[in-house]
Amino acid sequence: MNRCAGILMPVSSLPSRYGIGAFDAAAYAFVDFLEQAGQTYWQILPLSPPNHVKSKDTPYQSFSAFAGNPYFISLDALVEEGVLTREECDAAAFGDSETKIDYDLLYANRLPLLHKAYERSRIYENPAYQTFIRDNAWWLNDYALFMACKAFFGDLEWSAWPEDISRHWDFAVDYYHRTLYYDVEFHKYTQFKFFQQWQALKAYANAKHIGIIGDIAIYVSKDSADVWAHPELFQLDEHNEQTAVAGCPPDAFSADGQIWGTPLYRWDAHRDTGFGWWMARLWMNFQRCDLLRIDHFRGLDEYFSIPAGSQTALNGHWEKGPGMALFHKMWESMGYKPVIVEDLGFMTDSVRQMVRETGFPNMKVLQFGFERDDIGAANDYLPHNIPEHCVVYPGTHDNDPINGWFRDLPEEDRQMIRDYFGCGDTERMHEVFVRAALMTRAETCIISLQDWLGMGHEGRVNEPSHLENNWHWRVAGDLLTGALSETIFEATRRYGRINWDSPEVQRSIRERMEAAGKAQTSD
């Protein structure tokens, strides 16, 4: 068994002088930090562009299943290219907080800067750009036109556009491509820069033997290029309105269940096309990352269908998904690809069977082991029950950091946890859970940066079933210290999870051994 460890850290949460984490020097410095800390993986969240107006900036309801978030394009790199000036970037308002993203300001001010860069770029003379738009035309043309039309029609959802273009009729697509030509080309340019910069960052990480764990949302937003261009693949009526929406039944996050509002798939239509859209989507994501976490994996076995217009999820019901047919097609199309299964939530025997048949490791979240007093039972999430073939987390981006979560528990639950771990009162419960996760038999252990930092509620990224105040957290740059990387390195080494392939780790070990040898000689 190859034990390893990684850190969960969204790109958006990296330090930056321009309002949101990006593919700039701070991202490269974070890769260096991971290497110095002996980590094997950087787990990110979806890189897709969020719908600011409708979905409150969650990357799980995006304008596209294929496009990248233009907010992540490094403005510093564009200054170095000479298509922006430092003064222009510094003059743009992105907010005064270094620990909170202001999406309203990003929405208002980031794209105008990128537009200036596009206008000055002479991008049409770049052979790499011509290759990019040719090779990606199969998704890029629809996405770029979709974004140009959204701006042209005042950010209305595509179903409210004039009928000819809302129904993606060929003559209308041609007309708007011509009419909005430069706006369409601008969005192609932003995608070129996004992929160019991301691939460079990923190559830098891979050269240090750090793998990227990507993340794919199971659903896409109704207000997306995918649903607009391929409505036949989704559960829409003859007017392109949703007949049912995705969500989940009541659970630990919500007594009324959750309504996500995303359209459900017509799985029969996907089967008829050999799952072509899904194969393209998976292939594209595997170009971006080394491993892929599939969000809400259980929805591929059975999905929760809620009638459109419902106020709660209480009257939803389960429907059969594609099951193993999707993965048989994936293996046939692209061979084995490494996947992490997000199988959290309401579990059934059929979901467990599908996880076993895929052979993919699934997720174990320690917080979920303490939701009720069944310490002596076979609770899958308790440290002593964690198997080898899985990925263990103290908590994920959907959970409060350990310290915040622990402080809000009823006293009897806190005492149950103290009794389980054999610890007394502590304000540093994050250390207990981090150690417990690292100790488990799980092959892979992923710990959020917030839990390494011992943060509380202020470090939460997302609270499921709540639209407001999510996806805003950023880490202050001065917290990513050499002392922290040393702490993480020592804990990772202690529990046998060091990335021995890393040149930096090998150098560090040699230096430690030499220092120890010199100390013994002097004694």
At 280-297, the pLDDT tens digits run 999 999 999 999 999 989
Confirm if 472 and 459 have CB atoms less than 8 A apart: no
Q: Which of 9, 10, 5 is nearest to 39 (CA)?
A: 5
What is the predicted pLDDT for the residue at 386?
A: 94
DSSP state at residue 234? B
In the block, residue with structure tokens 């800390």: 37
Cα dihedral 4, 9, 10, 11 in deg (nearest 10): -90
**Type of residue numbered 221:** S
- Grouping H, G, I as helix, E, B as strand and the rest as coil, residue 52 is coil
| Residue 76 DSSP SS3 | helix
pLDDT of residue 345: 67
Residue 162 has a pLDDT of 97
- Nearest CA-CA partner of 366 in 257, 440, 428, 423: 440
User: What is the pLDDT, as a whole number, of residue 248?
Assistant: 86
Full-model pTM:
0.93
d(CA 315, CA 255): 13
* Dist. CA 48–CA 35, nearest whole Å: 26
Which residues make beta-bridge pairs with 41? 6, 211
Q: Which amino acid is at 79?
A: V
Q: Can you tell me the distance from the alpha carbon of 491 to that of 499, in angstroms, rounded to the nearest whole number?
A: 12
Beta bridge partners of 464: none
| CA dihedral of residues 352, 354, 359, 361 (deg, nearest 10) | -50
Known catalytic residue at 96: no
Report residue 32: phi and psi, to 5°: -60, -40
Please, are residues 38 and 502 in contact by the beta-carbon 8 Å criterion? yes
pLDDT tens, 348-382? 889 899 999 999 999 999 999 987 655 556 688 99
DSSP state of 51: -
Place of tokens 């599908």: 354
| 32: annotated active-site residue | no
295: annotated active-site residue? yes
Which secondary-structure segment (H or E) carries 393?
Answer: strand 390-393
Helix (H) or strand (E) holding 304: strand 302-307
With a cut of 70, list the residues of the chain below it in pLDDT: 1, 53-56, 252-253, 345-346, 372-378, 465, 467, 512-513, 515-523
Report the amino acid identity of residue 311.
Q
The partner residues of 201 in beta bridges, in order of sequence, read none
Q: 398, 413, 443, 486: which is the annotated catalytic residue? A: 398
- Rounded to whole angstroms, the Cα distance separating 65 from 393 reads 26
Residue of 32, 98, 164, 295 with catalytic role: 295
Q: In 3D, which of 357, 246, 242 has the Cα closest to residue 296?
A: 246
Q: Measured between alpha carbons, how far is 443 from 389 in angstroms, rounded to an integer?
A: 6
Query: 305: closest CA among 354, 350, 254, 242?
Result: 242
340-354, pLDDT tens digit by residue? 998 876 678 898 999
Query: Which is the catalytic residue, given 57, 157, 183, 342?
Result: 342
Tokens linked to 283? 């292939």
CA distance 274 to 333: 10
